[in-house]
Amino acid sequence: MAESKGKGMSVSSRIYLDHNATTPLRPSAREAMVDVLEEVGNASSVHGEGRSARARIESSRRALAALTGSQAKNIVFTSGGTEANVTALTPQITLSGKKRPATRAFVSAVEHASVLGGGRFNPQQVTFLPTTGDGVIDKSQAEELIRGEAKSGCVPFVSVMAANNETGVLQPVAEIAQLAHESGGYCHVDAVQALGRIPVSIAEWGCDMVSVSSHKIGGPQGVGALIYGSEEFRVAPLLTGGGQEGRGRAGTENVAALAGFGAALQNLREEGDEAVRLEALRDWLEAKLLHICESTVIFAQNARRLPNTVSFAVPGMVAETTLIGCDLAGVAVSSGSACSSGKVAPSHVLEAMGVPGDLARGALRLSLGWTSTQDDVERFAGIWRGLVKRMKPAQAGKAA
């Protein structure tokens, strides 16, 4: 059964606007996990208890396949999006049973840290693809770099994110995948922020691998997946020592977490077009931010973006101070990626977009999700109006 919006949170009156970091656990996911925790059985065992655990895993695998246009046999479960990304980014590739290694990785300058690091490629083998001022990959420069390397005998491996975790900007992944293949290479897409917010189809994108994560859609933390576009394509496993996941990832499976992931995936299929509701909330919120302070800058406002994400700054306001102000007022927001051990640091995404340092240091990210309501964004707007008046009184507009 689809869950009602705004339910499932604690009795706290706090406003949660940080769904891109992690979204609240869905009640159905919690119930599925509790059911598993009351059982016993290793999914690799052949007895009844083991077969029951295996059935739960395979049910979740089928649910993910159905939502991403893939085949269950081409899904390898991981501990999350980061592990999926690092597993994918390797020169060690097998195609139709024959080793055909990649020789150079190409990643955009606005990628998640797990991709920016190049995974298992040597740092000297990694080339960064520049972006436009809106944070979209510069396709002409990408083509020049990738085709140029291919002409010299390089086998390119291109990794791009479907949707940016900080700005919500959508990348032309199908075009990038086509470019990679026409250059004799491979393409991986980080769809961690995309799943559940825009359609994800490995077949329509034409890529070789896709990474996803459970806790971005209302499943538990600590579980994700690497999805292959074909059974003919495989990379060397990151974790070895066991035959789990079709020898794609060694280690006893986290059955409870996978059951929760499967329940969250089922909810996504039942919700229908949640993007329409979230986009309406986002657009209302952006209009309100501009009304409260006319000098507000909304980053990548003219680019194709996720329907749930707002990245903005008010000149002269510093993110660290405003984050504290929001938190004290009962609002959870972010200054960007949630993968920096709680640190407030300059955004490499905004830097790649050419945003001036002073403005970038004030950037905040608001991200909506399945629990978000009109009341949430209206209450936030009232709190934000007060913060702007206290911190930048000369720039605060009149309340609506």
pLDDT per residue over 129-188, tens digit each?
Answer: 999 999 999 999 999 999 999 999 999 999 999 999 999 999 999 999 999 999 999 999
Taking CA atoms, 71 is separated from 107, 173, 211, 230, in Å, by 26, 20, 14, 8
Show the domains of the chain with their CATH numbers: 15-23+273-391 (3.90.1150.10), 27-270 (3.40.640.10)
* Least trusted range by pLDDT, from 39-53, 246-260, 361-375: 39-53
pLDDT of 232 over the 90 cut: yes
Q: What distance in Å separates the CA atoms of residue 292 and residue 395, rounded to the nearest whole number? A: 8
pLDDT per residue over 387-399, tens digit each?
Answer: 999 987 555 544 4
Kindly give, in sequence order, each residue whose CB lies less than 8 Å from that of residue 145, ignoring residues fewer than 6 positions away: 106, 127, 129
Catalytic center residues:
339
Q: What is the pLDDT of residue 341?
A: 43
pLDDT per residue over 162-174, tens digit each?
Answer: 999 999 999 999 9
Percent of the chain surpassing pLDDT 90: 86
The kind and range of the H/E element at 109 are: none
